[in-house]
Amino acid sequence: MKQVVNDARVKNTLRVLGLIILILAFFLLVPSAKAAFPEKPIKIVVYAGPGGLIDISARKFSGIAAKYTDVNFIVENKPGAGGIVALKKVVQAPANGYNLYACTKSNIAKFVQVGGGEYVDALSWVAMLMADPECIITNGKMDIHTWPDVLENARQNPGEQNWVGPAAGGLDHVTALKIWDKYGIEAKWIPFKSGGKALAALLGEQGIAYVGNPRDALGNPDLFIAAVSAPQRLEAFPDAPTFTELGMDDLENEYMWRGFALKKGTPPEIIEWYDDLFKKVTADPEWISFWAKGGIDVTYVPEAQFSGLVAEDAKVFEYYLKKSDILPSQAEGILANLAGGTPFVILLIILVILWLSASYGIYRSVYAALLGRFMMIGIFLIISILFLVQSINFPSSSAVGPAAVPRLWIAMLIPLNLLLLVKTFRRKDGVSESGPRVDIVLSFIGFLIGYLFLMQVFGYFLSTFAFIIVSLYYLGYRNWRNTIIISLTWILFSYVVFYKTLYVPLPLGLLFENMF
């Protein structure tokens, strides 16, 4: 009886296996690289966290674009350093049009500040889609909330006012610098992770003014638009005065633009495909009315003009950032040299030699049983020293510089390790530190490293199949039928869930990529 059941099982299993292999073969062998653009979802890389206007722009765009194309747009938030993190992501990917950079004028400020012209040139500025006037928002619940009051307060307390907003050196910051410059006042810029968090600080009365766009003030009656940088009052915000009305002529055309960029070198036919889509989306009534409510002008400026505009912005930013000392100064001197290049490598080598010889000394001493513990302390100390030396090179700024907090952690890490070192020396007992089968762990680490290398050549699916079989065998599992079923099931699962559903681009391997 049992035999019959087993036979039936084997047959069923074989059938299932055959089916799985057929399906896998089908998907793996269908050549995919030659289809027309776009053949998979496009990522819109947003340089800010979700919820901000650029994020909304990207998401709204992907919603409206769905009317005109079948391709799915996936918004991916890559916040960090005012757009540099997102830029790196786009630039490191191939120039195949699948990573669309949702850009704003703020990026230009950051690019100029960090990478100079190089960063601006790394992208093709494909289209500018909207222009959004800059404005000053205050907290209507605070006594000082009209622009004349803010101004008077600033003159009474020079350099004391806290202005809140997103990242330092971004457009809003530079606009603030410009405003301070034109009016001859001084204040502090307190950067937050997002405009939303800065607004929360304003509502919490931690700052006196926020620089952003009129739309930021929607939805919360406590937020008050004190001044708008536009030639005339905005239709959507008829109560908000312009700078011109408030007696300042030079601040009538400060605006934030938003648009899209692609990695430089993207084929022209892909850019054409985008141009066509941008034209359709920007003419869409839903798109226009959505932005009109926020006082935002919907435009469409194609690459030819947009690139010129970007170049001009870059010049203006450079001027203001230099003038206000934001472009960081580099540390100099003998110590600074130690932090980079050959001297740093020599330092590293010296530390490792010291560590190894100290370890050998301990190995030959009465503390031999505690060798591992001492070596761990050594590793933490080496890392602390290397990081400390690196931090010498960080530019210093007027407030708390980028080196301060890492040094604070190191300043606690080193004494803690020295304390532990003393305590370890006081120990009399030697404990057995290793289990009986260190060899298995080491072989598995070897397997895993080999697996990762195989993956580069043979792709994720084949190498994973092999990895699971080898590890099962190595651990003493000898049921071959189950072994095959387990590894095939895993491959199928990862294919369906990760590769197909979540669009995780699991590597297919050099072998397969070159074959098709």
Partner 1 sequence: MTELFSNLGLGLSFVMGVVPILTITLGVAMGIVAGATPGLSPSMGVALLVPFTYAMSPTLALILLVAIYIAANYGGSITAVTINAPGTPSSVVTAFDGYPLTKKGKPGLALGVSLVSSTVGGIIGTLILIFFSGPLARFALKFHPAEYFALAIFGLTTVASLGGKNWIKAFIAAMFGLLLNTIGIDPISGVSRFTFGLSFLYDGFALIPALIGLFALSEIFKQLEGGDFSIQAAASGKQEWPTASAYWKLKTTILRSSFMGTIIGIFPGAGATIAAFISYDVAKKTSKHPEEFGKGSLEGVAAAEGANSSSVGGALIPLLTLGIPGSASTAVLIGALMIHDLTPGPQLFISHPEIIYGLLASLLFANIILLILGFFGSRLWIKVTTIPKTVLFPLIFAVSIIGSFAVRNSFFDVAACLAFGVFGWFLRRYNYPVAPIILGMVLGNIAETNFIRAIMMEGWTVFFTRPLSLGMLIVAAASFAVPLIQARKQKS
Residue 324 found at the interface with partner 1 (CB under 8 A): no
For partner 1, which residue of 123, 167, 225, 240 counts as binding (CB under 8 A)? 167
Residue 84 found at the interface with partner 1 (CB under 8 A): yes
Task: List the end-to-end C-alpha distance of the chain, in Å, as a whole number.
Answer: 50
For partner 1, which residue of 21, 346, 419, 510 counts as binding (CB under 8 A)? 419
| Contacting range for partner 1; rule: CB under 8 A; set: 106-114, 150-158, 175-183, 354-362 | 106-114
Residue 363 found at the interface with partner 1 (CB under 8 A): no
For partner 1, which residue of 433, 446, 480, 510 counts as binding (CB under 8 A)? 433
* Closest C-alpha among 158, 207, 162, 210 to residue 185: 158
| Contacting range for partner 1; rule: CB under 8 A; set: 27-35, 79-87, 176-184, 353-361 | 79-87
Residue 454 found at the interface with partner 1 (CB under 8 A): no
Residue 510 found at the interface with partner 1 (CB under 8 A): no
* Token pair listed for 345: 């490598």
Site for partner 1 in 217-256 (CB under 8 A): 218-221
| Dihedral sign of CA atoms 488, 492, 497, 499 in order | positive
Q: In the 8-state DSSP scheme, what is residue 296?
A: P
Residue 51 found at the interface with partner 1 (CB under 8 A): yes
Residue 445 found at the interface with partner 1 (CB under 8 A): yes
Give one word for 37, left, alpha or beta, with left for phi > 0 and alpha for psi -120 to 50: beta
Question: Where is 419: in which H helix or E strand?
Answer: helix 404-426
Report in angstroms how near the CB of residue 23 gets to partner 1 at its nearest. Answer: 19
Q: Which lies closer to partner 1 via its Cβ, residue 197 or residue 233? A: 197
Residue 192 found at the interface with partner 1 (CB under 8 A): yes
Q: Which lies closer to partner 1 via its Cβ, residue 73 or residue 243? A: 73
Residue 355 found at the interface with partner 1 (CB under 8 A): no
* Closest C-alpha among 82, 111, 162, 105 to residue 327: 111
Residue 446 found at the interface with partner 1 (CB under 8 A): no
Q: Which lies closer to partner 1 via its Cβ, residue 253 or residue 456? A: 456
Residue 10 found at the interface with partner 1 (CB under 8 A): no
| Contacting range for partner 1; rule: CB under 8 A; set: 238-246, 267-275, 350-358, 373-381 | 373-381
Residue 511 found at the interface with partner 1 (CB under 8 A): no
Q: Which lies closer to partner 1 via its Cβ, residue 245 or residue 433? A: 433
For partner 1, which residue of 190, 236, 248, 292 counts as binding (CB under 8 A)? 190
- 483 contacts 429 by C-beta, under 8 angstroms: no
Produce one character per residue of 278-309: b if its CB has 16 or more CB atoms within 10 Å, e if not. beebbebeebeebbeebbbbbebbbbeebbeb
Q: Which lies closer to partner 1 via its Cβ, residue 34 or residue 437? A: 437
CA atoms within 13 A on the CB side of 325: 5
Q: Which lies closer to partner 1 via its Cβ, residue 99 or residue 242? A: 99
Residue 77 found at the interface with partner 1 (CB under 8 A): yes
Count residues binding partner 1 (CB under 8 A): 113
Concatenated DSSP letters of 70-124: SSPEEEEE--SGGGHHHHHHHHHS-SSS-EEEEEEHHHHHHHHHHHTHHHHHTEE
Residue 50 found at the interface with partner 1 (CB under 8 A): yes
Q: Which lies closer to partner 1 via its Cβ, residue 8 or residue 416? A: 416
Cα distance between residue 504 and residue 180, in whole Å:
47
Cα distance between residue 283 and residue 472, in whole Å:
59
Report in angstroms how near the CB of residue 91 gets to partner 1 at its nearest. Answer: 9
Phi, psi torsion values for 410, nearest 5 degrees: -65, -35
Residue 65 found at the interface with partner 1 (CB under 8 A): no
For partner 1, which residue of 105, 110, 145, 258 counts as binding (CB under 8 A)? 110
For partner 1, which residue of 356, 448, 510, 511 counts as binding (CB under 8 A)? 448
Cα distance between residue 451 and residue 91, in whole Å:
28
| Dihedral sign of CA atoms 496, 502, 503, 508 in order | negative
| Contacting range for partner 1; rule: CB under 8 A; set: 128-136, 311-319, 353-361, 490-498 | 490-498
Q: In the 8-state DSSP scheme, what is residue 145?
A: -
Site for partner 1 in 113-152 (CB under 8 A): 113-114
For partner 1, which residue of 123, 296, 468, 508 counts as binding (CB under 8 A)? 468
| Contacting range for partner 1; rule: CB under 8 A; set: 29-37, 235-243, 264-272, 398-406 | 398-406
Cα distance between residue 108 and residue 170, in whole Å:
8
| Contacting range for partner 1; rule: CB under 8 A; set: 172-180, 254-262, 357-365, 416-424 | 416-424
Q: In the 8-state DSSP scheme, what is residue 242?
A: B
Q: What ranges make up the beta strands (E) of 207-296?
A: 209-212, 223-228, 255-263
Give one word for 328, left, alpha or beta, with left for phi > 0 and alpha for psi -120 to 50: beta
Residue 74 found at the interface with partner 1 (CB under 8 A): yes
* Token pair listed for 373: 């513990």
| Contacting range for partner 1; rule: CB under 8 A; set: 94-102, 216-224, 244-252, 255-263 | 216-224
Label the pairing between strands 42-46 and 297-302: unpaired
Residue 282 found at the interface with partner 1 (CB under 8 A): no
Question: Where is 129: in which H helix or E strand?
Answer: strand 123-133
* Closest C-alpha among 201, 85, 91, 95 to residue 142: 201
| Dihedral sign of CA atoms 418, 421, 425, 426 in order | positive
Residue 169 found at the interface with partner 1 (CB under 8 A): yes
For partner 1, which residue of 20, 24, 40, 49 counts as binding (CB under 8 A)? 49
Q: Which lies closer to partner 1 via its Cβ, residue 226 or residue 370? A: 370
